[in-house]
Amino acid sequence: MTKHIIIAGSGFAGTWSALSAARAVALAGKAESIEITVISPEPSLHIRPRLYEAVIENMDPDVGKLFAAVGVKHVAGTVENIHSDWHQVEVQLPNGERKKFAYDKFILAAGSRLFQPPVPGLREHVFNVDQLATAKVLDQHLKALPGRPPSPARNTVVVAGGGFTGIETVAEMPQRLREIFGAEVEFRVVVVEQAPEIGPDLGPGPRPFIEEALAQEGIEIITGTGVAAITGDSVTLGTGEVIATHTVVWTAGARANKLAAQIPGDHDRFGRVDADPYLHAKKAKDIFVTGDVALAATDNLGNNAAMSCQHALSLGRVAGHNAAAELVGLKLHPYSQPKYVTCLDLGPWGAIFSEGWDRQVKFTRDEGKAIKREINTKWIYPPMADRDAVFAVANPDYVIVP
């Protein structure tokens, strides 16, 4: 009887779950008895870490041929409901039909979505770079600004959130605006962060470089307050200050996909499901969680995987391998990713490359930028659709770090 592995999502974790599962099945010689199916709206991998960039072409490479090369099926649709007691998922198909799929092993790799608190006007008036579609909307909006009557609001961009994504987004903005408006137009770029200092999660090591890079581009940093209200013409801060702007870019945090809430067990404040070392959902039989929906320990020092591409790549490989391994009799592989690096793009200034959870800065400016370019254009893209080449890098031990 054919056994079924269902994977929800074709992002970094979902794609690598599928490839790793296919590798495990092939190693065991069980390809005829195990069917691996990825369910997502389309067979593409959105390169979400790059959506802050000005040019967003080739940010959704097709993984359909890649799946076909390793024997993975793709079903266009969206998982809407998880019935863990029945080992079924309910899927909304593009034609509006709802269909149930039975599974022997289910991998939730549905990623995360931008956190949107109940700030007045937020949903109506902000832009974001969370998804490819929304990044395109922002790009179109920015390019249309010169067609509006000159005003402080037209010429001002406010980025709400001074974390990793907010910093990368705001650092790129002055150059984008110069290309759009021309050198003769003066504009204002502001980043707002609730914490007392910019980049609160990045620690003190990178902060002087961040501040230097943003100052070089004339970017204003406002800390210690958040956004209280937004209209189409302004943003009001918690201090009461009003900034005239037609462009507010929201980058303040992420939450696990809402499907995670349907999985029994403990969840953290980001909505992630508590996972064991093999990425089983601890309270749900035959369900694995991976990527941004998984609360998983990276080491034995108390560090957990971040909601990042870097961790999703490894989490996906481990979840896919283990889901297949339980069906074909291979040894399970515990998730471990003790080495942690960050590479923060700071626009024309360059980039910062740091190592460790304490963010020890190793490379800056052009050297850091070269590493960032390598990461963004090569390391995080899926491999070519060659079965042997895929399997060579799909094992659960494989980690790409400089």
DSSP states of 80-127: EEEETTTTEEEEE-TTS-EEEEE-SEEEE---EEE-----TTHHHHEE
Q: Which amino acid is at 176?
A: R
Q: How far apart are CA 318 and CA 336, in angstroms?
A: 9
Tokens representing residue 75 in the block:
């079903």
Per-residue pLDDT at 57: 87
Buried b (16+ CB within 10 A) or exposed e, 221-232: bbeeebbbebbe
Coil, helix or strand at residue 208 = helix
Instruction: Note whether 262 and 82 are within 8 A (CB).
Output: yes
pTM for this one?
Answer: 0.97
Q: Which residue has the tokens 């403990």?
A: 266
Beta bridge pairs of residue 287: 106
Question: Residue 211: pLDDT above 90?
Answer: yes
CA angle 109, 113, 115 (to 5 degrees): 145
**Tokens matching residue 68:** 């076909």
Return residue ranges of the chain for CATH 3.50.50.60. Answer: 3-114+254-339, 122-250
- Report CA-CA distances (Å) from 325 to 25, 317, 333: 8, 12, 9
**With bands split at pLDDT 50, 70 and 90, how would you rate the model's confidence at 319?**
very high
Pull the structure tokens for residue 134: 């929304």
Alpha helices in 302-386 (DSSP H): 309-328, 365-374
Q: What is the pLDDT of residues 263-311, one digit of tens each?
A: 999 999 999 999 999 999 999 999 999 999 999 999 999 999 999 999 9
Residue type, 59: M
- How would you classify the pairing of strands 227-230 and 34-40? unpaired
| pLDDT, averaged across the chain | 97
Query: How many CA atoms, within 13 angstroms, populate the side-chain half-sphere of residue 302?
Result: 0
- Is residue 401 over pLDDT 80? no
Listing DSSP states for 6-65 in one string gives EEE--SHHHHHHHHHHHHHHHHTT-TTTEEEEEEESSSB---GGGTTSS--TT-S-B-HH
Place of tokens 């690096």: 341
pLDDT score recorded for residue 183: 87
Strands in 72-76's sheet, in edge-to-edge order, are: 72-76, 34-40, 3-8, 105-108, 287-289
Question: What are the backbone dihedrals phi and psi of residue 186, each rounded to the nearest 5 degrees, phi first?
Answer: -90, 140
Looking at residue 399, its pLDDT comes to 75
pLDDT of amino acid 58? 87
Instruction: Please give the structure tokens belonging to residue 1.
Output: 């009887």
List phi, psi (to 5°) of 208.
Answer: -60, -35
The answer to whether 193 and 221 are in contact (CB under 8 A) is yes
Phi, psi (deg, nearest 5) at residue 317 = -60, -40
CB 166 within 8 Å of CB 160: yes
**What is the sign of the dihedral through the CA atoms of 26, 32, 38 and 42?**
positive
Q: Which architecture does CATH list for 122-250?
A: 3-Layer(bba) Sandwich (3.50)
Residues 99/18, Cβ–Cβ less than 8 Å: no
Give the residue-averaged pLDDT of 340-362.
Answer: 97
- CATH class of segment(s) 3-114+254-339: alpha beta
pLDDT in tens, 104-148: 999 999 999 999 999 999 999 999 999 999 999 999 999 999 999
Looking at the predicted structure, is the pLDDT value of residue 90 above 80?
A: yes
Q: Which of 24, 26, 21, 28 is nearest to 5 (CA)?
A: 21
Instruction: Note the pLDDT of residue 372.
Output: 97
